[in-house]
Structure 1
């Protein structure tokens, strides 16, 4: 695929995708944590309250996101808004290494007041810092297939 033919997914469509992903994750994570720890869990102040909490809040979402990227080039939220992740150079499917770098890049993008995500609103290719680190872009697709 020629990268000049790509239609980049903009900032707001990516925000919507993120909201959808967060809601879906919450529908899975919150009931499990409540079932394991009870309603008192939500009154706690620590970031991680036990091993199940750590697995459900940190490990499972990371695995789910990266696996969706590897096998579908998109999370459910991105699929819902008609977007997917592609290699910024070729327009093809990104490598697993790129996708792992992209995930780590999320944390880099969060650090300075989410500036790394907001960057996508002003970038000519709509890339956040995580995209730039991994050499990926989010694009619109209409054929329903993979790159």
Structure 2
């Protein structure tokens, strides 16, 4: 019996390996931390607790953090911060890793990488493939998403900074003397 469409590895989207550099990953992390802080404050206020984390809200906050990282990384290969930065987490074949790989990457890998005084995260700067310890544990890579799939940076009226405007002037105003 043939397998249903979308379940074979050859039909999944594969991304090229252009490794994401440290600063792009840091940018994505800053965006994610900002979003997580907003989410945690809102959830804590709704549940009647203090807006900021305390010992009584710590388990809830950890659950939100891990859920955010595992679900976004496992399902889409990108957290919202990675989407903004134009990077994606992939496995050895260039596919989105899935939740089964995201769990050890985010739970075990980040704990080990952070527990060693952040050395596992700083390792990204020195590794040839820009992998942190959490990436090495899970066998994942963070790569640049192809330009065609990145969100466009648009300004006012769709004008992108650095692009030339099409300035058609059908008439010129002249000063009358």
TM-score range, shorter chain: 0.7 to 0.9
Tell me what 2:105 maps to. Answer: 102
* Greater RCO, 1 or 2 (C-alpha within 8 Å, sep 6+): 1
Q: Size of the alignment, in residue pairs?
A: 135
3-state DSSP class of the match of 2:28? helix
Q: Is the 8 A contact 2:78 2:89 kept in 1?
A: yes
Larger radius of gyration: 2
**Could you list the runs of 4 or more consecutive aligned residues of structure 1 that deviate by over 6 angstroms after TM superposition?**
none
d(CA) in 2 for partners of 1:61, 1:24: 10
In structure 2, list runs of 5 or more residues that go unmatched.
1-12, 151-177
Q: After superposition, give the CA deviation of every residue in 1:35-94 in whole Å (9 maximum; x if it has no partner).
A: 51246x66xxxx5214xx422x1112211211111221010001100000000x211221
d(CA) in 1 for partners of 2:104, 2:90: 14
Tell me what 1:137 maps to. Answer: 141
Please report how far the alpha carbon of residue 102 of structure 1 lies from its aligned counterpart in structure 2 after TM superposition: 0.5
Tell me what 2:24 maps to. Answer: 13
Q: TM-score, normalised by structure 2?
A: 0.69
How big is the alpha-carbon RMSD for the aligned residues of Structure 1 and Structure 2?
2.2
Flag the structure with higher helix content: 1
d(CA) in 1 for partners of 2:90, 2:148: 15
Alpha-carbon spacing, 1:124–1:38, altered in 2? closer, same or farther (3 Å): closer
3-state DSSP class of the match of 2:18? coil
Q: TM-score, normalised by structure 1?
A: 0.82
In structure 1, list runs of 5 or more residues that go unmatched.
none
